């Protein structure tokens, strides 16, 4: 006759008494989830690992520094028994049985009345897997499900209520920006997603998940374009490409498109290159959405100002070489009255300068830096199409970079790094 399977259930332990007996590695692993569940936790143990002790010092648990005694489980809803003393474990387990307290035993699963599943969380979903006596298989199944949810390969569409309607009693559609993990992400609205420097593998897990759940994607030219091919056929993709010094979609038109589609009850992703708030006009779009009462979630992205130099073997900081780095937009020449950059101050800095959108103006920028005192032999590297298959690196100095860029036919997108860090380390990393 086959063994009866365990009955799965989610315990709501907030404010309820939980007793953990034993302060070793098992407790160290299990306590964070119990703390996150809001349990009222008492630890009974004569010793504890440094991490468990820190939980007690921080007020997250109460620690009674002694061995288990009969009666310790009085009033408990749940118990975790994890000492290295079989006699104490057996006695505590017997008390749990007598008091009808669900009890997990780390040393003898067969003697326990409850088992701890392999658990993972993704975007408000808790996945718990039990496979009887095979914990490694449980963990493998959990990992596969969580990874699928995170990268969008496992479809788990939400039920989306009409715009403005609550998803749960007491919940409401809220305008303004929402942080990571907020309830607004579940409502029709807009997610400003930083797609990273270009390589589709460098988008964040959350960004990729939101893309998989989108109805409409408004994409920049510098976003990870390969990801658009993975979208389901029903997803509408709107090209918001802003080609430098060429045709472009006016920012006002982008804002209006975001608002119109969100008001139609669709989940909208604004897919941007790099990070939405690093020369990405993300705040302009967030402000327009807030004025229109549209929920907005901001998903940070890996900025090309750091990642592209790194992909080319250049650290923007390095011990003994640079203690700071400054990211500057180079789309406006130093002598242009519209420029907001203090080039004289930048020239006096000893650290790294990272220029974005500066290919067209690099000759004028280099001349201004030299004129204000930056040595002409300062190393410079131009990294074109960083993190992509066509990535290439062109090295020069401040005195030669203008002509070198023209001779090499450098074109956007490119990140320009100025400073001694350019000469640090290998020329290329894989």
Are 251 and 284 spatial neighbours (Cβ–Cβ below 8 Å)? Answer: yes
If one counts every other C-beta atom within 10 angstroms of the C-beta of residue 130, the result is 18
End-to-end CA distance of the chain: 56
What Cα–Cα distance (Å) separates residue 47 from each residue in 24, 58, 62, 71, 90?
8, 17, 13, 20, 19
Cα separation, 128 vs 107, whole angstroms? 21
Peptide bond into 413 cis (omega under 30): yes
Bridge partners, residue 62, by sequence: 42
Cα separation, 74 vs 71, whole angstroms? 6
Size of the chain, expressed as the number of residues it contains: 430
Cα separation, 123 vs 145, whole angstroms? 13
Query: What is the CA angle 235-241-245, rounded to 5?
Result: 175
Cα separation, 292 vs 222, whole angstroms? 27
The residue to which tokens 């204000």 are assigned: 372
Are 187 and 167 spatial neighbours (Cβ–Cβ below 8 Å)? Answer: yes
φ/ψ (deg, to 5) at 247? -70, 155
Cα separation, 300 vs 286, whole angstroms? 13
Half-sphere exposure of 292 (CA within 13 A, CB side): 22
What Cα–Cα distance (Å) separates residue 8 from each residue in 58, 77, 82, 419?
32, 16, 22, 59
Which residues are marked as active site? 220, 242
Both tokens of residue 372? 């204000």
């Amino acid at each position: 006759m086959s063994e009866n399977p365990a009955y799965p259930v989610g315990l709501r332990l907030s404010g309820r008494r939980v007793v953990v007996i034993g302060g070793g590695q098992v407790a160290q692993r299990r306590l964070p989830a119990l703390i996150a569940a809001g349990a009222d936790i008492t630890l009974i143990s004569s010793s504890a690992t440094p991490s468990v002790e820190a939980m007690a010092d921080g007020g997250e648990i109460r620690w009674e520094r002694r061995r288990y005694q009969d009666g310790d489980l009085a009033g408990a809803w749940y118990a975790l028994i994890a000492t290295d003393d079989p006699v104490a474990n057996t006695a505590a387990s017997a008390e749990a049985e007598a008091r009808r307290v669900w009890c997990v035993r780390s040393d003898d699963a067969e003697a326990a009345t409850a088992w701890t599943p392999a658990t993972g969380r993704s975007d408000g979903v808790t996945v718990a897997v039990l496979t009887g006596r095979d914990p490694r298989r449980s963990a493998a199944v959990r990992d596969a499900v969580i990874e699928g949810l995170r990268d969008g390969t496992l479809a788990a569409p939400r039920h989306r209520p009409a715009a403005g309607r609550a998803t749960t009693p007491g919940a409401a559609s809220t305008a303004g920006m929402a942080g990571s993990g907020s309830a607004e992400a579940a409502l029709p609205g807009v997610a400003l997603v930083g797609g990273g420097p270009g390589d589709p593998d460098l988008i964040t897990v959350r960004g990729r998940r939101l893309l998989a759940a989108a109805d409409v994607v408004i994409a920049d030219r510098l976003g990870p374009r390969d990801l658009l091919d993975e979208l389901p056929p029903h997803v509408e993709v709107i090209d918001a490409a802003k080609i430098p010094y060429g045709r472009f979609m006016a920012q006002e038109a982008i804002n209006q498109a975001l608002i119109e589609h969100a008001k139609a009850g669709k989940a909208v992703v604004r897919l941007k290159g790099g990070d939405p708030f690093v020369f990405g006009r993300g705040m302009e779009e967030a402000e327009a959405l807030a004025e229109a009462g549209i929920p907005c979630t901001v998903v940070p992205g890996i900025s090309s100002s750091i990642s592209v130099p790194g992909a080319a073997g250049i650290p923007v900081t390095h011990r003994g070489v640079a203690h700071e780095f400054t990211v500057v937009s180079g789309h406006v020449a130093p002598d242009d009255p519209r420029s907001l950059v203090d080039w004289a101050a930048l020239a006096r800095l000893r650290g790294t300068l990272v220029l974005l959108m500066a290919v067209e103006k690099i000759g004028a920028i280099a001349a201004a830096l030299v004129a204000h005192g930056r040595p002409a032999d300062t190393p410079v590297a131009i990294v074109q199409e960083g993190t992509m298959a066509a990535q290439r690196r062109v090295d020069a100095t401040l005195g030669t970079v203008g002509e070198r860029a023209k001779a090499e036919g450098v074109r956007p997108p490119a990140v320009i790094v100025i400073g001694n860090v350019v000469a640090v380390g290998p020329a290329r990393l894989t």
